Amino acid sequence: MQRTNFGDMACSIARTLDVIGEPWSPLILRDIWVGMSRFDQLQADLGISRKVLTERLNHLVEQGVIDRHPYDNRPRYEYRLTPKGTELVDLLMVMTAWGDKWLSGQAGPPVLYRHHACGEISHVDLRCAHCGEPMHAGDIDPLPGPGSAVA
Amino acid sequence: MQRTNFGDMACSIARTLDVIGEPWSPLILRDIWVGMSRFDQLQADLGISRKVLTERLNHLVEQGVIDRHPYDNRPRYEYRLTPKGTELVDLLMVMTAWGDKWLSGQAGPPVLYRHHACGEISHVDLRCAHCGEPMHAGDIDPLPGPGSAVA
DNA sequence: ACGCTGAAGTTCCCTTAGGGAACCCCAATG
DNA sequence: CATTGGGGTTCCCTAAGGGAACTTCAGCGT
């Protein structure tokens, strides 16, 4: 498919897509996050082809978002999130919140999240890391940064 | 490619991917968000093939995240985010924050965001919508919800 | 010692989606 | 009445996903 390479663009969204933008990758991360760590588990749960699962896992390991851990003194491996990968779960939680709100329909959300700190069923909300006020589409102005191509 | 249909899975992440998970879709939303609203602008800015851009725009319109607005009394159209699409920008902001942190390298972030409320250059942080405390990968327990397949 | 099993890939073929470039339609303009 | 420019559509080619069979290797049971 001679797919365009997003990683070279001067855009953090495009670069992030280069890491987890391929089909299945976010779902693989989701499964690893909830403790489904082995090849055959992932393959069976997702219904992904073994070939593509191999490719995705290798890519995610190369990008440093997951690690291969040998277990059982045999050629067996478990995949686990690295710190870099664990922070990607933020992305999954936002996708969950949006999907729950806009795509769940009558049935309601398929999965609920209980927040440890307050014990309530809840979802994520975006806040400014600096002042703590809400931060959404209309609340910001984009400016060229130091890594901008146009200098 | 007989791609697997994510929209039928009992998972809000998979369903969200069904809306914006295809290659280019998040970048198209990004451009529309910052005011790049016309077909040829998008095509030139992204370097996407016209065929695929047509397919993506149609899909995004069908999914209700963007609208086609005629202008100039001619068959000319502008694409704009709907409320549903505007809330997807949350996802883009989280991708930006992660990419800025992990993929920017020496050069620093290509784009900076100034937050209207405080006037500072900042980025998003995830908080619990209920109690306002931080909400990240380790702070929650997933539970089966009403829309779960396993009842 | 020897075959069996099960995890983790690998290989092969087929179909389909993305890239690129040329082509088309249509309303206003000169 | 030909030109222009936005907004697509069509065609061909290549590459990526799906599916299923095959491989490898360590331990286990007998």
- For chain A, domain boundaries: 6-107
State the nearest Cα–Cα gap between A68 and chain B, in angstroms: 20
pTM of the entire structure? Answer: 0.93
Residue at minimum CA to C1' distance from nucleotide C11: A51
Q: What is the pLDDT of residues B7-16, one digit of tens each?
A: 989 999 999 9
- The residues, any chain, with a CB within 8 Å of residue B35's CB and separated by 6 or more, are none
> Cα–Cα distance between B141 and B146 in angstroms, integer?
16
More confidently predicted of B91 and A8: B91
Tell me if B108 sits within 8 A of B115, measured CB to CB. Answer: no
> Cα–Cα distance between B55 and B22 in angstroms, integer?
10
Q: In Å, what is the separation between the CA of B68 and the C1' of C22?
A: 27
State the nearest Cα–Cα gap between B121 and chain A, in angstroms: 8
pLDDT band for position B105 (50/70/90)? confident
Q: What is the pLDDT of residue A2?
A: 64
Q: What is the pLDDT of residue B151?
A: 44
Q: What is the pLDDT of residues A127-149, one digit of tens each?
A: 999 999 999 999 999 998 998 86
Q: What is the pLDDT of residues A36-80, one digit of tens each?
A: 999 999 999 999 999 999 999 999 999 999 999 887 777 788 999
Q: What is the pLDDT of residue B1?
A: 61
Which CATH fold topology does B6-107 show?
Answer: Arc Repressor Mutant, subunit A (1.10.10)
